[in-house]
């Protein structure tokens, strides 16, 4: 059955309050303490969002990668000896999140941006990606997070070679990152079978993105496929991503909400399997709430 439901980063109900960000230039002008204030605001706001989630039975959430803007940038690192992970004030606020998460069995994830390319053929890109992953892993550790979700990366006109490079470069990662990493199928290059193949070679659990799968295939989900994905999760609950096409079913752009039909499909498939569902929709928390309502209605119909 479907267990936890979640959404990514933005909370529509709490607007106009937002996360803060900044430009490199501004940090250079205003100094490292300006950046620290932004970070404190963002960590506090994350805590506020998690409490809101809890009040609305939303037990899963993706933390924004921009929680600490530019902290891995070399110019910022060169500016001072200050490091966010050595700052007690920040540590205290991250700890509060960890406690909230653990007390309520919430599931936190992060999803490094598209320029995190572990299988790149450029050593500089790989090195930068690993640094960015280290930042994510530290943050996840501090907050009690569970999942660091990644795409395979580029193809470079030679997919098999690119896949081999992913496996090879996976072994350069620290044990902390390896433990947190999950692989997601994408909507144009790496299909679910590509990802399952890499999972077999690396032991990385697979996050099944239903919409990406549908964009690349006929969209039919078999018991065999679900079983294969499920078996990549040696420990813990499998996790999947759900979204609906904006203007037509295979539209890669996301709709504001999850359609009733898609909710129904996912509900049906997971009658006999356990999964946590991450909603990827423009209306974020509103879409997650509607999805939960739709699920309730479907479950109600079953119980009648």
Partner DNA sequence: CTCGGTCAAGGATAC
Partner DNA sequence: GTATCCTTGACCGAG
Binding site for DNA (CB under 7 A): 10, 18-26, 65-66, 69-73, 113-115, 117, 120-122, 124-125, 128, 132, 153-156, 189, 252-254, 282
In three state form, how does the secondary structure of the chain look? CEEEEEEECCCCCCCCCCCCCCCHHHHHHHCHHHHHHHHHHHHHHHHHHHHHHHHCCCCEEEECHHHCCCCCCHHHHHHCCCCHHHCHHHHHHHHHHHHHHHHCCCEEEECCCCCCCCCCCCHHHHHHHHHHHHHHHHHHHHHCCCEEEECCCCCCCCHHHHHHHHHHHHCCCCHHHHHHEEEECCCCCCCHHHHHHHHHHHCCCEEEEHHHHHHHCCCCCCHHHHHHHHCCCCCCCCEEEECCECCCCCCCCECCCCCHHHHHHHHHHCCCCCEEEEECCCCHHHHHHHHHHHHHHHHHHHHC
For 157, counting Cβ atoms within 10 Å of its Cβ (0-12 exposed, 13-18 middle, 19+ buried), the class is exposed
Please say which residue, 151 or 269, places its beta carbon nearer to DNA: 151
Please say which residue, 124 or 235, places its beta carbon nearer to DNA: 124
Least Å from the CB of residue 273 to DNA:
28
Confirm if 96 and 47 have CB atoms less than 8 A apart.
yes
Please say which residue, 13 or 252, places its beta carbon nearer to DNA: 252
Least Å from the CB of residue 116 to DNA:
7
Least Å from the CB of residue 272 to DNA:
32
Please say which residue, 205 or 214, places its beta carbon nearer to DNA: 214
Please say which residue, 76 or 298, places its beta carbon nearer to DNA: 76
| Residue 20 neighbours by CB under 8 Å, 6+ apart | 38, 41, 42
Please say which residue, 157 or 300, places its beta carbon nearer to DNA: 157
Please say which residue, 242 or 269, places its beta carbon nearer to DNA: 242
Least Å from the CB of residue 56 to DNA:
19
Least Å from the CB of residue 214 to DNA:
14
Least Å from the CB of residue 203 to DNA:
24
Least Å from the CB of residue 275 to DNA:
23
Least Å from the CB of residue 268 to DNA:
27
Please say which residue, 124 or 301, places its beta carbon nearer to DNA: 124
**Bridge partners of 183?**
150, 206
């Amino acid at each position: 059955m479907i267990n936890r439901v979640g959404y990514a980063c933005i909370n529509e109900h709490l607007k106009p309050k937002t996360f803060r960000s900044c430009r490199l230039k501004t940090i250079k002008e205003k100094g490292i303490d300006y950046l620290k204030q932004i970070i404190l605001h963002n960590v506090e706001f994350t805590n506020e969002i998690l409490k809101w989630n809890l009040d609305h039975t939303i037990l899963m959430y993706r933390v924004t990668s921009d929680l600490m803007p530019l902290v891995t940038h070399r110019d910022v690192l060169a500016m001072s000896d200050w490091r966010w992970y050595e700052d007690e004030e920040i540590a205290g606020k991250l700890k509060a999140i960890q406690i909230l998460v653990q007390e309520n069995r919430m599931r936190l994830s992060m999803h490094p941006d598209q320029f995190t390319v572990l299988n790149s053929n450029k050593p500089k890109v790989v090195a930068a990606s690993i640094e960015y992953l280290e930042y994510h892993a530290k943050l996840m550790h501090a907050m009690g997070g569970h999942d660091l979700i990644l795409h395979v990366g580029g193809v470079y006109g030679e997919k098999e070679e690119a896949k081999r490079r992913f496996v090879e470069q996976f072994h350069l990662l620290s044990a902390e990152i390896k433990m947190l990493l999950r692989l997601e199928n994408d909507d144009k290059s790496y299909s679910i079978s590509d990802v399952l193949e890499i999972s077999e070679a690396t032991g990385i659990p697979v996050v099944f993105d239903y919409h990406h799968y549908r964009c690349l295939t006929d969209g039919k989900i078999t018991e065999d496929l679900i079983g294969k994905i499920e078996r990549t999760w040696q420990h813990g609950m499998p996790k999947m991503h759900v979204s609906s096409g904006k203007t037509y079913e295979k539209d890669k752009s996301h709709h504001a909400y999850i359609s009733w039909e898609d909710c129904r499909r996912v509900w049906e498939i997971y009658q006999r399997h356990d999964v946590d569902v991450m909603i990827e929709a423009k209306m974020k928390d509103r879409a997650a709430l509607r999805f939960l309502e739709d699920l309730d209605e479907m479950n109600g119909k079953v119980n009648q």
